[in-house]
Structure 1
Amino acid sequence: MSKHFMPRASLVALMAARPAGIVGSVRSEANVDAAKLEKLLNDVNAEVKRVGDEVKQTAEQALQQSKDAGKITDEVKAKADELLTAQSKLNDAQQKITGRLEQLETRNTDLEQRLASRRGGNGNDAVKSLGQMVAESEDVKNFTTKMGAKGTVRITVQNAITSATGSAGDLIVPQRETEIIGIPRRQMTIRQLLQVGRTTSNSVEYARMVSRTNNAGVVAENTLKPESDYVWEQADAPVRTIAHWVPVSRNAMDDIPQLQGEIDGELRYGLDLAEENEILKGDGTGQHLDGLVPNATAYAPAFAPADETDIDTLRLALLQASLAEYAADGIVIHPTRWAKIELTKDGEQRYVFANVIQMAGPQLWGRPVIATQAMDEDEFLTGAFRMAAKIYDRMDVEVLISSEDRDNFVKNMLTVRAEKRLALAIRRAAALVTGEFAG
């Protein structure tokens, strides 16, 4: 009994083997590596077994004394109390070391899984965390294996913050612009050439002269005066409806403030685009407008100039309108054809009529030029537009939103509809001249 082992002192001695610290290690809370903890646990387990044996031996001794003398000596009591206390402390230490080992094993498993997932997509180019760099450092390995995890080791790592995933990449938030970027829209130009009025009916009736026989002349006194002859006809311009619609989710309309304005603008633009095409080339069948080009007079030049150019052709068309007693006030052609005319040069590479430095606006022969893709590249239209035709607006553009359309209510959808109504009256068809460019 004189060689009693002090378990508390032994435990303190064993725990003193912990390294003083690892500077820069993200795993410093573990204090010791797994190998060191396992050795410490083995020592504690051995001490627990030895103390348990002594407790058993002391208990047997106390039982024997109780049988022989009827009581237990104070020495046996003191030793039993001391052994039981030491056994309790050793059990606590055993549990703590076992828990610490399990924590280290879990961290190592997580670290291996993260490394495997990062290397799986980008090879060895994936960004390493600070803990990975410390764990893979040769200095740390030497510290634990060669130095026995005693003392201090300093680890220097290079881990720049970048925009890559695994660094600061997940913190980058894209900037959101509230403006909705649309596609280009054609500039509407034909309506501005015509007279514009209004109507409250579904059609516009008017009378137009179809022929004139003018026999006015000088006469002698008391003689029969000559008779002239004029013929009119009644014409009708029915009001036509141009409309379209688009389905929209109520959630989208509520969540995107700019969306309603964009849809409104796009629907209005669609109506204007269809209107311009109808005004120019509507064939008058069905619900189509009776347009300008189908009603215009075919181009018939008064003479054929030598080496006729596009500029010559347009001048002869203006002449044709003038000979019909209509003063032309505009020219409508395709933008590409107008660019070719502007680039016309003489034999010395000088522009024929265009001044590239000073241009007040697209004009040719003193008349404004309207360049629109509603015309084909090889055709033109000219004449006295304000005298030739008139637009009667019956209803301005109307945009309505409704949920009462088919199954919109149960699907939480909206129908946005836009429409306009107008009539086009061709009052003087001879005031317009249309044709195709030579070649």
Structure 2
Amino acid sequence: MTATLDAGERIIEFPALTEAKSALNAKRDELAKIFTEAGPDYDMAKVKSISGDTQAKVEHIRALNVEIDERKTKVDELMVVARAAAQAKEHGGSAEPGSEPDGRKGAEDGLHFKDGRRKNLGEIITESKAWKNYERGSDSGPVATLNIDLKTLFETGAGWDPETTRTGRVEMFPTRPAPHVVDFIPQTTTTQAAVVFMEETTFTNAAAETAEGSSYPEGALALTERSHSVRKVAVFLPVTDEQFEDEPRSRDYVNNRLPFMLRQRLDSQVLLGTGIAPNLLGTENVSGIQSQALGADPITDAVYKAMRLVREDGFAEPSVVYARPSHWESVRLLKTADGQYIWGHPSMPGPMTIWGVPVVETTAAPATKILLGDYANFSELAIRRGIDVQVSNSHSTFFVDGKLAIRADLRAAMIHHRPKAFAEVTGL
């Protein structure tokens, strides 16, 4: 085997390495030629060096990339050996003859030359059976055992333990995002403890054609006062003094998570709240909303029938549909008789609408129902006070325990002005 020293790269250039580099460059040139033919717009139709349609050409490029990666790995492996050999050649004369005990002189072994000079690792590798008997073009060569004497290692157990620093990322507990539901509900402000309004509960339209001299038909109107109390959503968290003092990010973390808890709970209350103090009144429990049973209908049909009730009986136009992901799944996966997806191919983002109305997937929706309605015109989330965060050590024994009580709350009322403008699909 012959080898040459490349002083620029400080490597021993030997035939196997030269051949591997040549093969790698050939594949790189082939790939470059393809993209030169394709031009700056990557038009595969212009590529004549590869036969077949665009898909076939793309597959050829993909295979070529894989082959380039494999050849590059081979070159990298050989370069490790080449650099070691160069270091061995460069520093081979650093030790003076006679530096080893006299008993080493005159006989060459696996670790020493005849003059007693100790071989370094690069020299041991280049003189090994595996190196000398390597055949060009083969994927593997003979195996040799290197007789290298080992001294006591300065390793982890006897030296420093490795220092590990956290990345700074905090992976949050998997939970429902918020806000999500209230984004589709108009928000107002109130300065009262309750939101009071009048609802027209009687409307009798007796207007009719009347003959001359006859009595006018009598109509009827009646108003009823409605009141929705402002409710408080609250949470508190105990934290030690040291946690805030020693970790600067902990304060921001708590300040972000507590309001998130409130918004998440509010999302649930505007749909599911019972209205019994201290709960808000959610859509599911509003008296007088429309109801459509699923029965034997597919969900799409039942939802449309519920929308029809809102339009026909509530004289409103649904603005949003709230459904659990498990319920929306059956709609998203609907197919035609020949297997085509109705709500869009799996490779494309499907329309988050049903019958033209936006759909909000949320686990805040009821487990057995879909809720919908004209939230845009006939609902209102009245905010008495937005999120307020306070910190104190006066709770219980927190002062002497070195703890802080961090509390957050908000006050709001949920109003459905026209119950018949909302509907539920039941039996899911």
Shorter-chain TM range is: 0.5 to 0.7
Task: Tell me, yes or no, if structure 1 residue 314 matches structure 2 residue 303.
Answer: yes
Q: Any residues of structure 2 matched to 1:57-72 within 5 Å, and which?
A: none
Deviations 1:249-302 (A, max 9, x none): 01111111111111111111111111111111111112111111111624247x
Distance 2:348 2:149 in 1: 67
Task: Tell me, yes or no, if structure 1 residue 352 matches structure 2 residue 336.
Answer: no
Counterpart residue number, 1:323: 312
State percent identity of aligned pairs.
20
Q: Give the letter for the 1:297 counterpart.
A: I
Aligned with 2:198: secondary structure?
strand
Of 269, 272, 279, the match for 1:278: 269
Counterpart residue number, 1:431: 421
Contact 1:388 1:430 in 2 (8 A): no
Contact 2:290 2:306 in 1 (8 A): no
Distance 1:254 1:218 in 2: 82
Q: Give the letter for the 1:338 counterpart.
A: W
Contact 2:334 2:341 in 1 (8 A): yes
Of 330, 334, 338, the match for 1:340: 330
Deviation at 1:333, TM superposition (A): 0.8
Counterpart residue number, 1:249: 240
Say which one has the larger Rg.
1
Aligned with 1:279: secondary structure?
helix
Task: Tell me, yes or no, if structure 1 residue 405 matches structure 2 residue 405.
Answer: no
Task: Tell me, yes or no, if structure 1 residue 226 matches structure 2 residue 196.
Answer: no
Counterpart residue number, 1:204: 195
Contact 1:185 1:269 in 2 (8 A): no
CA pair 370-162 structure 1, distance change in 2 beyond 3 A: farther
Deviation at 1:161, TM superposition (A): 5.2
Where does the alignment leave 5 or more consecutive residues of structure 1 unmatched? 1-139, 141-151
Contact 2:320 2:372 in 1 (8 A): yes
CA pair 360-353 structure 1, distance change in 2 beyond 3 A: closer
Distance 1:160 1:315 in 2: 79
Counterpart residue number, 1:42: none
Aligned with 2:192: secondary structure?
coil
Counterpart residue number, 2:362: 372
Contact 1:204 1:236 in 2 (8 A): yes
Q: CA RMSD in A?
A: 2.9
Task: Tell me, yes or no, if structure 1 residue 267 matches structure 2 residue 258.
Answer: yes
Of 380, 383, 394, the match for 2:373: 383
The count of aligned residue pairs is 285
Deviations 1:86-144 (A, max 9, x none): xxxxxxxxxxxxxxxxxxxxxxxxxxxxxxxxxxxxxxxxxxxxxxxxxxxxxx9xxxx
Distance 2:212 2:152 in 1: 115
Distance 2:172 2:180 in 1: 21
Q: TM-score scaled by structure 2?
A: 0.61
Where does the alignment leave 5 or more consecutive residues of structure 2 unmatched? 1-100, 102-115, 119-147
Q: Which moved more, 1:171-180 or 1:329-338?
A: 171-180
Aligned with 1:421: secondary structure?
strand
Counterpart residue number, 2:62: none
Q: TM-score scaled by structure 1?
A: 0.59
Q: Give the letter for the 2:302 counterpart.
A: T
Contact 1:206 1:234 in 2 (8 A): yes
Distance 2:277 2:351 in 1: 38
Counterpart residue number, 1:158: 150
Greater helix percent: which structure? Answer: 1
Task: Tell me, yes or no, if structure 1 residue 240 matches structure 2 residue 231.
Answer: yes
Deviation at 1:171, TM superposition (A): 4.2
